[in-house]
Amino acid sequence: MDFLNDLNKSQLEAVKHTDGPSLVIAGAGSGKTRVLTYKIAYLLSKGVSPASILALTFTNKAAREMRKRIGELVGYQTSKYLWMGTFHSIFSRILRSEAQLIGFTKDFTIYDTSDSKSLIKSIIKELQLDDKIYKPGNIFSKISFAKNNLFSAQSYFDNPDFLKADTHSKVPRTREIYAIYANRCKQANAMDFDDLLLQTNLLFRNNPEILEKYQHIFNFVLVDEYQDTNFAQYLIVKKLSEKHERICVVGDDAQSIYSFRGANIDNILKFQQTYQHATLFKLEQNYRSTQTIVNAANSLIDKNAKQIKKTIFSKEKVGNLIQVSNVLTDFEEAFMVANSIKDLKRKEEHSYKDFAVLYRTNSQSRVMEEALRKQNIPYRIYGGLSFYQRKEIKDVIAYFRLISNNDDEEALKRIINYPARGIGSVTLEKLSATAQTHNVSIWTVLSDMLKYNLNVNAGTANKLAQFRDMIAVFSQQIQILDAYELANNIVKTTGVIADAMHDKSAESLSRIDNVQELLKAIYEFSETKKNEEGMDIVLLPEFLSEVSLLTDQDETKDENDDKVTLMTVHASKGLEFRTVYIVGMEEQLFPSPFAKSPDEIEEERRLFYVAITRAEENCFISYSKSRFRNGQTNFSNPSRFLKDIDNQYLEYIQNEVLDSRSTSSFNRWDDDIEIERNRFRQTPFRSARSATASSTQQFSRKLMKINSADDDKKTVDNARYPVGSFVKHAIFGIGKVIETSISNGNEKAEIDFGEKGVKSLLLKFAKLEKLD
DNA sequence: TGTGGATGCCTTTTT
DNA sequence: GGCATCCACA
């Protein structure tokens, strides 16, 4: 067990404690994942069977990385038998194998958030309620909250407190919506994300012998990011480890930032009350950041009342002070960051991937993106639409879902008229109404339209029958045909991409690309399964069950991809960067105006703590006097949190040049060279070593308009307006195309309109005329 | 059944 | 400012 030498004293103690409950409080950068992986490796090397260890994480990525590291320590043949994964994936697996006990089949669909909301929306409509008052998103949150706290539809309905609260918020019929929603999910043989946890609890509660079976299988239970667990997760873990109490939870209360999703920080704060014999371990040495950064973060989090006291320290170098800059507009802020990145990259041998720009809200990325692009700095934005959220992908997957589970109502609604086959909303409403009156699924009505007296004309009935038969044929093949082969057939037969093939627009091309990409993913998935698990054939439902639990968060960062990272603070948790910029440190933004109660303010403070502790060497904070938001300029004050950081760790940078001039005379996106030149001179973030402005070299490159290095957005080869060609725009006049790209499936061009500036235009909107 | 103009609304989002 | 949604119309 040589590998234990890699650990420090407190890490080692935590790893070696294997009997009885333990709580490991792991400060930022203290080697939390290391303790978990080594603990599991330690158990395995002591002869514990991998199949008796349950390790729960919050992201697939975390699970994947941990399994990989354990594999490196003890061998892949052992690590592959670990029960390691997200709460949702592990318990969906268990629910599938016990499905008949709770009235589902093993091929149940998992509804994603948009499926859930769309179902709730139709229920609200059916009940003839006003969706301005009964907002689907709002009702969904209420249901989600209830499920996370283990209130089933029945117990919600019977609970006078909920009725009182809902009446107070003017939505007294929420309980009916919840009841109908639950019924419809069951009818559709579907579970939403929250159901996976709720149903697991119900399964264990109503079937003691099943609970016992899993208590027996899992001899050791480990949980990562315990501060982010909700009540449903807390109880599952508690029940499973009830007999032996060999439970180890790891987390950091100071990094609990997901209460809005039901996470309950009390789970970690009160762990020692729940498990009376729990041993507490604190990992207090931070290996990531400079002393200044660690001390600054400590002084900030110290202002929170709710926390487990700990003394995080660093033995790294003291490092630079945190620079706090004040600017006039969000635009200057973005430009300043871009300049600072260029500066540091040159002077401190940073790569682009050593930088991260963190913000409170996704909408702040736009202005940042613009500034980086103008400076030819490659970047990658995390968040936003993931691959699996794209329309064409959701459409194809809806076919897979419906074929795999004929009762999947949301899938059916999505594709019954896509591609268009003359089944309109009127017909769909009739179908839906008929299904509701007989309390059956829409598919059941389709299978016997006469019996259910479906009131449609012969032509429509014929179209419906055709659609039904097409799906039914595939459904028969699903247990026989290989996933990839079937998926290919489905895509071809249904004509999802056939119409896209006709026109050669960039949008349809990228749509076809994406569908091809999906097919490729299915192919790779089956090949991996065949190789690793020795399966002869991989069926489509297996792919489906995995894909519904995937998120964009799961794409791993490519180390060879040298780009600046742009993301929300939430998304940055667990990551680290040499230099971090925290932008928009203003009241009404950070803390979010939605945070009102003291508890919510504390969570925002923890969020700021997370942001600061991402930095290894340099941390830059900025706030702006004005910010362009929701179509208007808002003025704001510096965030109250700045005062929470001990002044000795901060360096306020005065920005006299900006203060002396009025921004009002400047066009926001004006590319005027004089303005650019001024901006270059005004880099308020001084480089860590010297305060000189950027080089003329960069400036001339800018003037030469070298294309953005952002190859994330693929250049369009057969663009309508090739790079270098001239076009005419109704407002901007004549311009030269300097770059074409595809962004979210839309063809985009950067066009230089001379004195009117460089504009980034979406070709489907901009009516351009090509000049030769 | 599909479209286009007017209207209304915006946080964060591990699954 | 930008997107989704809704209603009016072809």
Look at residue A511 in the predicted model and tell me its pLDDT: 80
Are A616 and A628 in contact by the 8 Å Cβ rule? The answer is no
Residue range A335-364: mean pLDDT, rounded: 92
CA of A722 to C1' of C9 (A): 38
CA of A132 to C1' of B5 (A): 21
Look at residue A552 in the predicted model and tell me its pLDDT: 57
Beta bridge partners of A629: A632
Q: What is the tens place of the pLDDT at every residue in A694-721?
A: 222 222 222 222 222 232 333 333 356 6
CA of A404 to C1' of C5 (A): 31
CB-contacted nucleotides of strand C (7 Å): 1-2, 6
Question: Residue A62's closest CA among A81, A36, A91, A30?
Answer: A36
Q: Would residue A225 show up in a list of annotated catalytic residues for this protein?
A: yes
The dihedral built from the CA positions of residue A153, A155, A156 and A160, taken in this order, carries a sign that is positive
Nucleotide B8: nearest residue by CA–C1'?
A132
The helix or strand, by DSSP H or E, that contains position A754, with its residue range, turns out to be: none
Q: Beta carbon of A534 within 7 Å of strand C?
A: no
CB atoms within 10 A of CB A49: 14
CA of A445 to C1' of C2 (A): 41
A384: confidence class by pLDDT, cuts 50, 70, 90: low
Look at residue A459 in the predicted model and tell me its pLDDT: 85
CA of A132 to C1' of B7 (A): 13
Checking DSSP bridges between strand A564-568 and strand A355-359, what pairing results, if any? parallel
How far is A618 from A621, CA to CA, in rounded Å?
Answer: 10
CA of A219 to C1' of C3 (A): 50
Catalytic position from the list A200, A229, A255, A375:
A255
Residue ranges of E strands in A255-348: 279-283, 285-286, 313-314, 322-327
- Residues with Cβ < 8 Å from A705, sequence gap 6 or more? A738, A752, A758
Nucleotide B13: nearest residue by CA–C1'?
A261
Look at residue A731 in the predicted model and tell me its pLDDT: 53
Q: What is the tens place of the pLDDT at every residue in A480-534?
A: 999 999 999 999 888 877 766 666 666 677 788 888 889 999 999 999 888 888 8
Q: What is the tens place of the pLDDT at every residue in A142-189?
A: 999 999 999 999 999 999 999 999 888 888 999 999 999 999 999 999
pLDDT exceeds cutoff 70 at A587: yes
Look at residue A609 in the predicted model and tell me its pLDDT: 96
Tokens coding A39: 């603990």
pLDDT exceeds cutoff 50 at A661: no
The mean of the pLDDT values for chain A is: 84
User: Please, what is the end-to-end C-alpha distance for chain A in angstroms?
Assistant: 72
- % of chain A with per-residue pLDDT over 70: 82
- Phi, psi (deg, nearest 5) at residue A78: -85, -50
Q: Which nucleotide is nearest to A132 (CA to C1')?
A: B8
Q: What is the tens place of the pLDDT at every residue in A193-251?
A: 999 999 999 999 999 999 999 999 999 999 999 999 999 999 999 999 999 999 999 99
Look at residue A458 in the predicted model and tell me its pLDDT: 85
Q: What is the tens place of the pLDDT at every residue in A51-93?
A: 999 999 988 889 999 999 999 999 998 999 999 999 999 999 9
Tokens coding A471: 């799906």
Q: Beta carbon of A133 within 7 Å of strand B?
A: no
The dihedral built from the CA positions of residue A466, A468, A474 and A477, taken in this order, carries a sign that is negative
Catalytic position from the list A166, A224, A739, A747:
A224
Q: Beta carbon of A363 within 7 Å of strand B?
A: yes
Look at residue A551 in the predicted model and tell me its pLDDT: 67
Protein chain A, residues 154-183, with a C-beta closer than 7 Å to any atom of nucleic acid strand B:
none
Q: Which nucleotide is nearest to A110 (CA to C1')?
A: B15
Residue range A533-558: mean pLDDT, rounded: 79
Q: Would residue A614 show up in a list of annotated catalytic residues for this protein?
A: yes
pLDDT exceeds cutoff 60 at A112: yes
C-alpha distances in Å from residue A254, one per residue of A330, A602, A603, A606, A632? 29, 10, 9, 6, 35
Q: Would residue A167 show up in a list of annotated catalytic residues for this protein?
A: no
CA of A459 to C1' of B14 (A): 48
Question: Residue A260's closest CA among A550, A554, A571, A599?
Answer: A599
CA of A178 to C1' of B2 (A): 34
Q: Would residue A551 show up in a list of annotated catalytic residues for this protein?
A: no
The dihedral built from the CA positions of residue A367, A370, A375 and A380, taken in this order, carries a sign that is positive
Peptide bond into A638 cis (omega under 30): no
Residue range A750-755: mean pLDDT, rounded: 62
Q: Which nucleotide is nearest to A744 (CA to C1')?
A: C3
pLDDT exceeds cutoff 80 at A651: yes
CB-contacted nucleotides of strand B (7 Å): 1-2, 9-15
C-alpha distances in Å from residue A200, one per residue of A107, A226, A261? 16, 19, 19
Peptide bond into A21 cis (omega under 30): no
Q: Would residue A32 show up in a list of annotated catalytic residues for this protein?
A: yes
Q: Would residue A255 show up in a list of annotated catalytic residues for this protein?
A: yes
CA of A135 to C1' of C7 (A): 19
Catalytic position from the list A98, A115, A194, A225:
A225
Q: Beta carbon of A61 within 7 Å of strand B?
A: yes
Are A641 and A356 in contact by the 8 Å Cβ rule? The answer is no
Q: What is the tens place of the pLDDT at every residue in A416-463?
A: 888 888 888 888 888 988 998 999 999 999 999 999 988 888 888 898
- Residue A387 buriedness (CB in 10 A; 0-12 / 13-18 / 19+): middle
A673: confidence class by pLDDT, cuts 50, 70, 90: very low
Q: Beta carbon of A131 within 7 Å of strand C?
A: yes
Q: Beta carbon of A126 within 7 Å of strand B?
A: no
Contacts 24+ apart (CB under 8 A), A421-427: A421/A463, A421/A466, A421/A467, A422/A459, A422/A460, A422/A463, A423/A460, A423/A463, A423/A464, A423/A467, A427/A456, A427/A460, A427/A464
